[in-house]
DNA sequence: TTGCTCCTCACGTCACGTGAGGTGGC
DNA sequence: TTGCTCCTCACGTCACGTGAGGTGGC
């Protein structure tokens, strides 16, 4: 053990505040090499300075304390680098998201008016290959991607034909609270019955019949609340909304083009059928 | 007043959770048009949907609720756009900072070893034009820029000559806690006495004498804790550190070049003079 | 009438910052 | 001995989320 210094000196060396250092001790992120039993004084080894600096860099990047601890505890360089890369990817995704939020805000403020048309449609029962689960809003995005990945893989493995655009049903709990049932599907031919591995989350089922008011959203999913708002306003003024999951159909989506401005998403809001 | 809907419908229209809407009501960010006196039920006008969407966009960009409220309350478009631009600039600065934190982290992990040399120096009294104030760590950056702006302006107005690099003194409270005295200065010729407007924060003074252990930091200020750490370690092992503000001198800084990798900052750590 | 929506507390979260009040070390 | 450093609570911050327990509306 090398030279030890007080918390104040260590603070000056690392530019971490004393309060921060005490907190890091409390959560066992950075533990002083020695604690005086009588006074409770913390003493740090100057060899801990580089560790403290690494911690500061990760916290500057908003990496949660728990993850920083994992990175520091990583048994080998490979594991450590993997954890770091994961976080850097997350940062990059966040930068992308911020960028598109800025764009989206500018669009909203410049108020590009798109004429919106609503269609009433009766959805028949259709056979689908589906995955349904309870998810939280945070994880919805990654769940969505993973679920469609699995669905498409199953289609390929079964030599099955997809007969329409992908879609999803989302329980209102997902909006009311932060968690609810979601189901994504690919429509399939009724005569074909793909072998679904039992025990997995894949299922072959029929989509329930429903009456929907439908509006098509153009552009990235970031902005989908704009169309939801317009459709909701329409329904309260011109139709009779009822309980039930909202229905989305991805006419053009990330599987078709990476240019998000080209995407088209049909949104179906359940209504009471007034025009038979 | 147009059509009103319940909080649940409004939630579905805007993709804001019911809890979030209740919170926005509580903090008077988005107030329902009507509240039932008996039941406490909140009713929203569908004309409030666009406002809610704007709020969501700003919150996605981490604009604090208080500022969102200001933007919405802005009396005219000019004021509003100004507030938005200010925030977008802050976002951009933050993106820059994140970017440089990533770079800095990579450098740290790749461990580019710079040989560090320490020099002991006696600083004489020198006359300076200075600004000293108590500042918090958050505002130190902007305070620093503003203070040097004012100093340089005063120099220009007085036809005064600057006889050395700019510098600053920083109380240890700035590191120990989050607030402390900071003083930035430009060295001037002793025979010249610039007219300092009274009542302002400018002052002509002599820098106190001091004994310092000095190390030069190369690169952006993001990384300055590396050199602080190295210097602190040196002082504990090879010298006798004493209380007193740390001294920084900006040999090459943002006034000289925007290429931060070229910057040179002398850091002076107060020591007890052992070698007279 | 049932079951769903809505309500109000009260408390938790995350990473610290802000005092208050008190002790220890040079 | 003074004055500075350090200590431990307890509470505050920000923008909500998580229940608990209860009422209202169709």
**pLDDT tens digits along A152-194:** 998 888 888 899 999 999 988 888 888 888 999 999 987 667 7
State what percent of residues in chain A have pLDDT above 90: 46
Strands B179-187 and B119-123: unpaired
Closest CA to B128 of B201, B211, B210, B194: B194
Q: How far apart are CA A14 and CA A6, in angstroms?
A: 12
B275 pLDDT more than 60: no
pLDDT tens digits, one per residue of A239-248: 888 888 899 9
Confidence of residue B257 (pLDDT cuts 50, 70, 90): very high
Average pLDDT over residues B105-123: 77
Q: Which residues of A touch B57 (CB under 8 A)?
A: 101, 104-105, 108
Closest CA to B129 of B95, B157, B101: B157
Q: What is the pLDDT of residue A113?
A: 63
Q: How far apart are CA B96 and CA A21, in angstroms?
A: 27
| CB burial of residue A258 (10 Å; 0-12, 13-18, 19+) | exposed
Confidence of residue B212 (pLDDT cuts 50, 70, 90): very high
What are residue A180's DSSP bridge partners? A135
Whether A43 contacts chain B with CB within 8 A:
no
pLDDT tens digits, one per residue of A14-50: 999 999 999 999 999 999 999 998 889 999 999 999 8
- Which nucleotide, over all strands, has the C1' atom closest to the CA of A178? D17
Residues 203-242 of B with CB under 8 A from A: 224-226, 228-233, 236-237, 241
Q: Which residues of A touch B53 (CB under 8 A)?
A: 108, 225-226, 229
Q: Which two tokens stand for residue B45?
A: 């006008």
Torsion (CA) A81, A87, A93, A94 in degrees, nearest 10 = -150
Confidence of residue B74 (pLDDT cuts 50, 70, 90): confident
Q: 3-state SS string over B42-81?
A: EEEEHHHHHHHHHHHHHHHCCCCHHHHHHHHHCCCHHHHH
* Whether the Cβ atoms of residue A233 and residue A196 lie closer than 8 Å to each other: no
B21 pLDDT more than 80: yes
SS3 B10: helix
The count of other CB atoms within 10 Å of the CB of residue A217 is 23
pLDDT tens digits, one per residue of A120-135: 998 888 999 999 998 8
Q: What is the pLDDT of residue B223?
A: 87
Those nucleotides of strand C lying less than 7 Å from any protein Cβ are 4-8, 14-18, 23-25
Confidence of residue A114 (pLDDT cuts 50, 70, 90): low
Q: How far apart are CA A255 and CA A257, in angstroms?
A: 6
Q: How far is CA A89 from CA A24, A82, A182, B164, in A?
A: 25, 11, 26, 44
Q: For tokens 């005490």, what's the residue?
A: A22
**Å: A66 CA to C10 C1':** 27
Average pLDDT over residues B53-74: 90
Residues 139-158 of B with CB under 8 A from A: none
SS3 B205: strand
Q: What is the pLDDT of residue A75?
A: 82
Q: What is the pLDDT of residue A274?
A: 61
| Average pLDDT, rounded, for chain A | 87
Q: Which two tokens stand for residue B75?
A: 């009396």
Q: What is the pLDDT of residue A38?
A: 86
Q: How many CA within 13 A on the CB side of residue B5?
A: 23
State what percent of residues in chain B have pLDDT above 90: 45
Q: How far is CA B68 from CA A120, B24, B59, B72, B200, in A?
A: 37, 11, 8, 6, 34
Q: For tokens 């809890």, what's the residue?
A: B19
Q: Out of B95-99, B114-118, B147-151, B271-275, pick the least confident.
A: B271-275
* Whether the Cβ atoms of residue A236 and residue A272 lie closer than 8 Å to each other: no
Segments in chain B forming alpha helices (H):
7-14, 18-26, 49-60, 65-73, 77-110, 137-158, 173-176, 224-238
What are residue B250's DSSP bridge partners? B265
Q: Minimal Cα–Cα distance from A201 to chain B, Å? A: 27
Q: 3-state SS string over chain A?
A: CCCEEEHHHHHHHHCCCHHHHHHHHHCCCCCCCEECCCCCCEEEEHHHHHHHHHHHHHHHCCCCHHHHHHHHHCCCHHHHHHHHHHHHHHHHHHHHHHHHHHHHHHHHHHCCCCCCCCEEEEECCEEEEEEEEEEEHHHHHHHHHHHHHHHHHHHHHCCCCECCCCEEEECCHHHHCCEEEEEEEEEECCCCCCCCCCCCCEEEEEECCEEEEEEEEECCHHHHHHHHHHHHHHHHHHCCECCCCEEEEEEECCCCCCCHHHCEEEEEEEECCCCC
Q: What is the pLDDT of residue A184?
A: 96
Phi, psi for A224 (deg, rounded to 5): -65, -20
Phi, psi for A44 (deg, rounded to 5): -110, 145
The count of other CB atoms within 10 Å of the CB of residue B187 is 19
* Whether the Cβ atoms of residue B215 and residue B118 lie closer than 8 Å to each other: yes
| Average pLDDT, rounded, for chain B | 87
Q: What is the pLDDT of residue A91?
A: 83
Q: What is the pLDDT of residue B113?
A: 63
Q: Do B98 and A246 touch (CB under 8 A)?
A: no
SS3 B18: helix
Q: Which residues contact A155 (CB under 8 A, 6 or more apart)?
A: A129, A162, A186, A188, A194
pLDDT tens digits, one per residue of B167-194: 999 988 888 888 888 999 999 987 667 7
Average pLDDT over residues A252-267: 93
Q: Do A228 and B61 touch (CB under 8 A)?
A: no
**Å: B263 CA to D15 C1':** 39
Q: How far apart are CA B241 and CA B223, in angstroms?
A: 22
Q: For tokens 């599907």, what's the residue?
A: A185
DSSP B241: B
Average pLDDT over residues B13-18: 93
Confidence of residue B55 (pLDDT cuts 50, 70, 90): very high
A40 touches strand D (CB under 7 A): yes
pLDDT tens digits, one per residue of A58-86: 998 888 999 999 999 888 878 888 888 88
């Amino acid at each position: 053990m090398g030279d030890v210094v007080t918390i104040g000196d260590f603070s000056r060396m690392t530019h971490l505040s004393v309060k921060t250092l005490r907190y890091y001790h409390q959560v066992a992120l950075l533990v002083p090499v020695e604690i005086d039993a009588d006074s409770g004084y913390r003493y740090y080894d100057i060899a801990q300075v580089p560790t403290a600096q690494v911690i500061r860099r990760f916290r500057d990047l908003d990496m949660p304390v728990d993850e920083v601890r994992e990175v520091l505890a990583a048994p080998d360089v490979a594991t450590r680098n993997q954890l770091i890369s994961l976080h850097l990817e997350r940062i990059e995704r966040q930068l992308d998201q911020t960028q598109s939020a800025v764009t989206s805000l500018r669009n909203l403020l410049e108020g590009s008016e798109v004429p919106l048309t609503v269609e009433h449609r009766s959805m028949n029962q259709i056979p689908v290959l589906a995955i349904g689960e309870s998810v939280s809003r945070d994880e919805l995005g990654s769940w969505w991607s993973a679920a469609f990945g699995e669905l498409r893989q199953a289609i390929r493995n079964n030599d099955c034909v997809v007969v329409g655009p992908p879609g999803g049903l989302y329980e209102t709990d997902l909006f009311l609270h932060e968690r609810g049932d979601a189901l994504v599907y690919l429509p399939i031919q009724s005569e074909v019955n793909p072998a679904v591995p039992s025990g997995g989350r894949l299922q072959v089922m029929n989509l329930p019949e429903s009456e929907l008011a439908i509006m098509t959203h153009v552009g990235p999913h970031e902005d989908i609340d704009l169309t939801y708002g317009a459709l909701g306003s329409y329904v309260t003024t011109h139709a009779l909304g009822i309980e039930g999951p909202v229905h989305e159909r991805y006419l053009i989506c990330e599987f078709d083009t990476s240019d998000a401005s080209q995407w088209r998403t049909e949104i179906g809001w359940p209504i009471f059928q007034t025009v038979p």
